[in-house]
Structure 1
C-alpha cells in the first residue's frame, strides 16, 4: 500500500512538473515543444483551450499506439492526458497568467528552464509505472519495436509533431527546433541520473508486483 501511495504521488508530481514545463515554454514565446505547438495551433484555429486539445490529440494517439503495438487501445491513457489538460489550463489561464516577458534573454532563460523541467517531469512520472501520456507511449512503443534508446525514439516522435505543427502554422520557432534536438537527450540524461541515484523504472515495476 505504501508503495502504491508513493507511486501515485510520483505520478501526479511528474505530470504537474511536466505541465509546468509546457506552460513555461509557451510563456517564453520563442518556440515551444512540437506537440504543444500542435495543440496551440488547434486551439487558435478551431477554439477550445490548449488543455482540451491535449486531451483530444492524446485520444487520437491512443488509437495510433494500439496500431503500432497491434493490441487493443489502452484506454487508461486517457487518465494522464485528462490530468495534464487540467494542469496546463490551470497554470496557463490562472496561476501563471500574469507572466509576460519582454526581455529576449529572459525569454530564453524561461524557455531553457521550461525545457529542462518538462524533460524532468517526463522521467519522474514514467517511474510510477502508471498509464503513460499517449505521445510518450508512442515513444515507448517505438522503443519496444526497434530496441532503440528513448533518447532516439523521443526525438523521432517530436519530429513527427514538428511537421504537423508546421502544416497547421502553429507557434513554431527556434525554440521548437531546440526541443526536437534536445528533449530526447535531456530525457535520456535525467533517466540515467535517476537510475544512478537508485530510481530505475524497473525498480518501480517490481515494487508494484510485490506490493
Structure 2
C-alpha cells in the first residue's frame, strides 16, 4: 500500500507539473507543441476550453488506437486525459488568467520554465504504468502497424498533427521547434534522478 501511494503521488504530481508546463508554454506565446497547438486551435476556432479539447482528443485517440489494433478501448487512459485537461484549465483559467508577457525576454523565460516543467512532469508521471497517455500509445500503434522505429513513428505523428494545427490556426512558432528538439532529451535528463528518488522512497 505504501508503494502504491508513493507511485500515485508521483503520477499526480507529474500530471500537475506537465499540465502547468503546457499552460506556461501556451502563455508564453512563442509556439506550443504540435498536440497542444492543435487543441488551442480547436478551442479558438470552435469553442470550449483547451482542457476540454485535450480530454476529447484523448477519447477519440483511445477509440482510434483500439480500432487500429482490433482491441478493446483502454478507457482507463481517460483518467489521465481528464486530469491533464482539468489541470490545464485550472492553470490557464485561474492561476495564469492575467499572465501576459510584456517582452520577448519574459516570453523566453516563461517558455523555458514551461519546457522544464514538462520534462520533469513526464519523468515523474512515467514512474507509474497506470493509464498511459493515449497520445503516447498512438506512437506505439503507428510503430506496430508500420514496422517503423519508435523515433520515426513519434516524429511522423507529430508532423501530421503540426500540419493540422497550422491549418486551424494553432499557435506555432519558434517555441514549437525548441520543444520538438528539447523535450525528449529533457525527459531523459529528469528520468534518472526522479526514478532514483522514487526507488529510494519505495525501497
Using the size of structure 2 for normalisation, the TM-score is 0.87
Query: Aligned pair count?
Result: 201
CA distance in 2 between counterparts of 1:119 and 1:139 reads 18
- Residue 57 of structure 1, CA deviation: 0.7
Deviation of 1:159 after TM superposition, in Å, equals 2.6
Partners of 1:140 and 1:116 lie apart in 2 by 25
Name structure 2 gaps, 5 residues minimum: none
What SS class does the counterpart of residue 128 from structure 1 fall into?
coil
Large movers: runs of 4+ above 6 Å:
none
Deviates more, 1:178-187 or 1:35-44: 178-187
Match of 2:165 in 1: 165
Residue-by-residue CA offset, 1:16-59 (whole Å, 9 max, x unaligned): 00000000001100101111110110011111111110111111
SS at match of 2:76: helix
Q: Residues 115-136 of structure 1: CA distance to partner in whole angstroms, max 9, x if unpaired?
A: 1211221121111111012112
Q: 1:74 to 1:186 in 2, by over 3 A?
A: same
RMSD: 2.6
Contact 1:155–1:181 (CA<8 Å) still a contact in 2?
Answer: no
Equivalent residue number for residue 124 of structure 1: 124
> What's 1:204 paired with?
none
Asked whether the equivalents of residues 162 and 180 of structure 1 are also in contact (C-alpha less than 8 Å), the reply is no
Cα separation, 2, equivalents of 1:189 and 1:70: 36
How far did residue 180 of structure 1 move? 2.1
Contact in 1 for aligned 2:7/2:198 (Cα 8 Å): no
Q: Helix, strand or coil for the counterpart of 2:105?
A: helix
Q: What residue in structure 1 maps to residue 177 of structure 2? A: 177
Using CA pairs below 8 Å that are at least 6 residues apart, which structure has the higher relative contact order?
Answer: 2
For residues 101 and 54 of structure 2, the distance between their equivalents in structure 1, rounded to whole angstroms, comes to 24
Instruction: Evaluate the alpha carbon distance shift between residue 147 and residue 14 of structure 1 in structure 2; reply closer, same or farther with a 3 A threshold.
Output: farther
